[in-house]
Amino acid sequence: PAPKNAEDVAEAHPRILGDPRTGTIHPVPSQLRWADYVERTYTFGASFTRDDWLKEKFTLGLDFPNIPYLIDGDLRLTQSLAILRYLARKYNLMPESEDEWIRAAVIEQQVNDMLWENVRLCYNSAYNDEMKEAFLKTFYSDRLPALVKFLGERKFFAGDQLSYVDFLAYEMFDQHRTLWPEEQKALEKYPTVAEYLKRMESLPAFKAYLSSDKFRAWPVWSEMSTYGGPKMAKPVAKA
């Protein structure tokens, strides 16, 4: 289901999304799919000087200058979760009942923690197969079963209606199958997850976003990452 007012969004001014080109921002354009926006992508440079960002950092009127940021008319907002919640309220993607609010709050924090576990692994300069295997072992023996149990027979994580936390969850699952495609079969052992991802990808507007030039399947991370960044080719599963 789409937000009730999704088709009525037609602002005179463009929304500007400042994008650090990392996976932590992906859920934001996933929600902005309901509206037109201009993407301002920053790169860190070969020597990670961040000049591209630093020359604009203090000129944008941001209270806490950082990327990602969102400019929506007079609103200037940073922090990815704050942006997600703002867009959720604006485009009717917030939970409705008390139970849905509680579930959304829990899964937001849980999935965000899992996303940052991935960040810490992939940006670790000592990244190696042993570290990857330890990370994946924890994911498949602990994190994933708990998520599957929490989702249960619901269509989405907060309940039976789509909410902003589903874009966080989708990003987390999509990161795993993109970064480690050989693990796809492990994910497929959980029909609940496969059905959930298919349900998300079948949403008309989200499906259109995934096939648009605004969706970046690769790289997942920035130039500063050890694994999953533009310095390496997109992994493919071995036959």
List the domain boundaries for the chain. 98-207
Flag the least confident range among 1-10, 46-55, 146-155, 226-235.
Answer: 1-10
Confidence band (pLDDT; 50, 70, 90) for 11?
very low
Mean pLDDT, the chain, whole residue set: 85
Query: Percentage of the chain with pLDDT > 70?
Result: 85
How does pLDDT run across 109-129, given as a tens digit for each residue?
999 999 999 999 999 999 999
User: Exposed, middle or buried, 214 (CB in 10 Å: 0-12/13-18/19+)?
Assistant: middle
Question: What pLDDT shows up at residue 237?
Answer: 84
How does pLDDT run across 186-208, given as a tens digit for each residue?
888 899 999 999 999 999 888 88
Q: Which two tokens stand for residue 111?
A: 């999935």
Query: What type of residue sits at position 181?
Result: P
How does pLDDT run across 80-105, given as a tens digit for each residue?
899 899 988 988 899 999 999 999 99
Query: Percentage of the chain with pLDDT > 90?
Result: 55
Angle at 51 between CA 48 and CA 57, to 5 degrees: 120
Quick count: other Cβ atoms within 10 Å of Cβ 133?
Answer: 10
Mean pLDDT of 29-48: 68
Q: What Cα–Cα distance (Å) separates residue 133 from each residue in 23, 41, 79, 102?
A: 21, 32, 31, 33
Question: What pLDDT shows up at residue 33?
Answer: 59
Q: Enumerate residues 6+ apart whose C-beta is below 8 A from 97.
A: 159
For residue 27, is pLDDT > 70? Answer: no
Q: Enumerate residues 6+ apart whose C-beta is below 8 A from 94.
A: 85, 88, 104, 163, 164
| Domain 98-207, CATH among 1.20.1050.10, 3.40.605.10, 1.10.287.610, 3.40.50.300 | 1.20.1050.10
Strand duo 69-72 + 37-41: pairing: unpaired
Mean pLDDT of 44-63: 82
Q: What is the arrangement of strands in the sheet containing 69-72, beginning at the earlier edge strand? A: 37-41, 15-19, 69-72, 75-78
Question: What pLDDT shows up at residue 106?
Answer: 98
Distance of CA 238 to the CA centre of its chain: 26
Query: What is the distance between the alpha carbons of residues 65 and 20, in angstroms, rounded to a whole number?
Result: 13
State pTM to two decimals.
0.87
